[in-house]
Structure formats: structure tokens, C-alpha cells
Amino acid sequence: KAVDRLRRDRAYAARLAVLRADAEREETVAPAPDIAGAAELPDDRLQLFFTCAHPALAAEDRTAITLRCLAGLTTPEVARAFLVPTATMAQRIVRAKKKIREARIPFRVPGPDELPERLPGVLQVVYSVFTEGYAASSGPRLQRLDLAGEAIRLARILRRLLPADRETAGLLALLLLVHARRDARTGPEGEPVLLEEQDRGRWDRAMIEEGRDLVVRALTGGPAGPYGVQAAIAALHDEAADVESTDWVQIVALYDVLLTLTPSPVVAVNRAVAVAMRDGPGAGLALLDALAEEPRLRAYPPYAVARGDLLTRLGRAEEAAAAYRSALESAGTEPERAALRRKLGE
């Protein structure tokens, strides 16, 4: 493991060197890097993440360029995180690099006084890395446990560095509460297992307990942040004995809060599914259908799968099949495609 980490550290350093070379390509003298603040960031990857979280770049641009150039995600994987086409994301990354070069944005580890301003961007990067590990966008496996584990490791370091920051606690809580289900999320052949069908005895109870304690910290002492709210939702799922006894009323209420904090089509889809569990499939389907013109959901398989599942529950088999076929067109992993083919009877 030590050798592997050394190789990763060298790879990260090489990636930052490439970015720095891009930024300074037209300069005759490159400024010496300022390592002030490095003592506050004991992990090389986090140093680089904070370095790229420069406020001169738009928030989405700095997250995208960090994920692509430092976190090791491919352009299609980064595009999926933002629900945009790959070509759009490629152009965004090129524009961000151009701005770095033209504005001569310095690549240096920020000082301690700069860390709070850059923290939200770093949390977003760690969250996006975990998301790709939790639900891979392509390849032969549904989960990439190496990425998920690395995200949790980084979140733990951030939590130790910033013990009073509630959103840092919320992020770590969310990752732990979701990752606790990892062993139950796939079947013997790697196929996806839905939440309602998972063997909850295989969930990691120690990880759940740690996550629950962190949720309390994340929600105490002030208004809740997006990661704290998502962690609270995950905790309600993990505490329930089964889907039927899950507190769907509270989950819908939390999604309402989350929509006010971070309005997004993905949150709206998740809320619609929760409403279907609370009020019935017809109510959830109406909410999903209201999102039909949202362009960011056109290539988002969970949206079409959710519609297909609710249509199936309503006995509308032909419409359900059409929804599953739509999901099949954009599904990225082979386990997802195989599961959809089974739903279609193929």
C-alpha cells in the first residue's frame, strides 16, 4: 500500500506540473511556488485540490478541472457528474485552462486564511469522486470501491482538520452512511440490487453508527447545509428495518429542504421517488413527468428507470418498457444494462 500511495503521489505531482506548465506556457520566468499553508494540509492530494480551488475560476470550472486533471476522472465521468454532454464538458475544461493561462492564476497551496473560501469546492470534488465510486458511469462494475474508499479517506482528513465545520462533518457522514450498504448493493454476478431488496444484515453497522453520530454534529448549532441534509436522509434509510417502515414523510420533508438549498433535477427525481413511497406511484409519476423537459435528465438513466418502475407498479407495461429502453440507451455500466435487459425480458 505504501508503494501504491507513493506512485499516486508522484502521479498527482505530475498532473499539477502539467497544469502549471499550461498556465505558464507563455511566461519567461515561472514564479517559485508558495507553499504557505502546506502544514495545514498534511495530504498531498488535498493540497492539490485546494490549490485548484482558486476563486478566480467559476465554481463549476474549478471543480471540473480538479476532477479531470487531479482526481483522475475521465472527461465523460466528469460530464456525468454535471449532467452535461461529454463535448460540453471538454469545452468547459479547455476554457478553464485558457483562463488559468491568460489570467496568470498562480498554482500554489493556499495559506490558512484562504482555506475557508476554498473549502466548498474541495468538498464538492471529494463528493464527486465518491459518487463515481458509488455508481460508476462506465465499465464492467457497478461500484468502484477504490474511488469510494479514497473519497472517504480524504473526507476523514478534512474532518480532522476542520472539526468545527458542520458541512465537513455532513459530507463524511453522508459518505459513510451510503458506503455502509456497499456489500448488499450488488448480487453474486455484480448485478445491481435495489434498496428494497437488499439484505440489510450485510450493511456495515459500525459505519452506520459513526455516520449517525456525525449527522447529529452536522445538524447542530446552526442552519443545515446540503451535505448534512443528505446525510440525514441516508441515516433514515439506514435506520429502517425495511422499506415499508422507512419514515418517508420525514424523507420527503428533508428533500424539500434540500431543494431550497441546492435546486437540481437529481434532487427532484429522488424526491419524486420518495413521494411515490409516501403517497403512491401515481403521485410520484406525476412529479417525474413534470421533469420530462429537463435537458439534464435526458441521458440520466435513474430518471428513466424510476419512471419505468412506477409505470410497472401502475400496470402500464408498454409505457414502462419504453422507459426502460430509454434508460438502456444511456446506461454506462454492463451491470446496469444487464438489469435493464432483464426488466425488458430480453
Secondary structure tally for the chain: helices H, strands E = 16, 0
| Exposure string for 128-143, b = 16+ CB within 10 A, e = fewer | bbbbbbbbbbeeeebb
Q: Nearest to residue 272, comparing CAs of 303, 317, 241?
A: 303
In whole angstroms, give the CA distance from residue 147 to residue 151: 6
Mean pLDDT, the chain, rounded, equals: 87
pLDDT of res. 113: 83
Rounded CA-CA distance 323/338 in Å is 15
Q: Using pLDDT thresholds of 50, 70 and 90, give the confidence band for residue 252.
A: very high
What percentage of the chain carries pLDDT values higher than 90? 63
Cell of 149: 474508499
Pairwise CA distance, residues 92 & 105, whole Å: 17
Lowest-pLDDT choice from 23-27, 48-52, 317-321: 23-27
**For the chain, which residues make up each domain, given as ranges?**
251-346
- In the chain, the DSSP E strands lie at none
Confidence at residue 20, expressed as pLDDT on a 0 to 100 scale = 43
Q: Do 279 and 295 contact (CB within 8 A), yes or no?
A: no
Question: In this structure, are residues 152 and 179 in contact, taking their beta carbons and an 8 Å threshold?
Answer: yes
The pTM of the full predicted model, rounded to 2 decimals, is 0.84
Fold of 251-346: 1.25.40
Return the pLDDT at 346.
Answer: 67
Q: How far is Cα 25 from Cα 18, in angstroms, rounded to an integer?
A: 10
Residue 35 neighbours by CB under 8 Å, 6+ apart: 108, 109
| More confident position, 84 or 229 | 229
- The β-bridge partners of 139 are 333
* Mean local confidence (pLDDT), 90-119: 83
Give the pLDDT of residue 159.
95
> Band of the pLDDT at 217, cuts 50, 70, 90?
very high
Model confidence pLDDT, tens digit, residues 202-212: 999 999 999 99
- Grid cell in block for residue 302: 435513474
